Structure 1
Amino acid sequence: MSAQLLLVDDEPGLREAVKDYLQESGFSVQVASNAREGWELMQQSLPDLVISDIMMPQVDGYQFLKQMREDPRFQALPVIFLTAKGMTTDRIQGYQAGVDAYLPKPFDPDELVAIVENLLARRATKAQAATEEGETPDIADLANQIAQIKALLTQKNALAQSPPPFTIDLTPREQSVLNLVAEGLMNKEIARRLDTSVRNVEKYVSRLFSKTGTNSRTELVRFALEHGLAK
């Protein structure tokens, strides 16, 4: 399942070139010409990762990043800076602001793809490990996933399509957990609904990840909506 990326850059030529390359690499990409437009898009459809320029009019990349990090939904969201500001002091400022990676222009698009894949893989591994070990997930990351699920529910009709020519064998309890995850409920709420333990819910969610080939609750719900699995 392709990750959803948001690319924010005020240079039309570069923005379209990077978008095309990322799409050719298998990602779904939304674009914005400035930070305010990017913020509006994030309220409608939360991305899995953000790529942003720094030098933009009105709201620059540092301010945009600060806005994201102050919102619980986006505190764990991977962010990459693409920028012409390549001095060491600029990079230090970016990392101190909470950016995950910093790629000065001009850059090799293959390097950008490698950074994106690495950040997404690390995030998925962290979430999977927390689920398998029964640990409490990072609150900011969980809040982000719940917010993404609720955003997906507003697009439920658009995402729905005819089921593919294959079936996924879910037990009745797995189906019940999937339905409640697709409602945007947290594990504690699901456990209360089903009169079971949070640990059991975590085990069912982990099985759903395995059966659907997804790595996060957001991907799981998107998959379920696209393939008519959530009831």
Structure 2
Amino acid sequence: MTENTSASSSSSLNSSFRSTDDDRIIASILTEEETSNFDRKLGRRLSHLDSIPHTPRVINEIPDVNEATMDHRHLSERLFSYDLEELQMEGDGNCQFRALADQLFHNPEYHKAVRKKVVKQLKHHRNLYEGYVPIKYKSYIKKMKRSGEWGDHVTLQAAADHFGAKICLVTSFRENGYIEIIPNGCSATRELWLSFWSEVHYNSLYERGDVPARKPRKKHWVLF
């Protein structure tokens, strides 16, 4: 019994150290980026696009396979026309946070730290987000703490607010192909570019030819 307790305590302590290390690395990266102008190259390239007002919302309905397939094709054509390319994120339920981590820190594996920051934002600024959540807010927070829980447009707004970032979504929606999520109460210090496919999946966006040479370890959402 003592050995099991000791092992459990050691595992918890190691996890705590890893979390602290992640926080330090992230803080260092953010400090470095805040001292320089953030890259607006994609923003300049797509400045002709009209964005729609963003309304935070939760995911209500997942499209069927046929609709999702058509949406994926539509998104691929749109990205090609804008000369953009996706870095594929793992389809493990953390794709939104992985894509944000890739854009913020050039490493999708920091998704747990990003989720932690977003949940903290949601908890500490309840008045900004509660009105968009159709279930009990505490239940929503509890759900979003879990790794593998899909992010939604409320968590995107919270991420924009916490990191002081303008989040630019190129979507598969036929009517709303481009959405900008602006941080509340402050000017954006960086731009994050994501693709959003059919309420199903997020990827990280780059100019064609600039996608980092990284491969996800697990199966990601791709339709052939």
Bin the TM-score by the shorter chain: under 0.3
Q: Which has the higher helix share?
A: 1
**Greater RCO, 1 or 2 (C-alpha within 8 Å, sep 6+):** 2
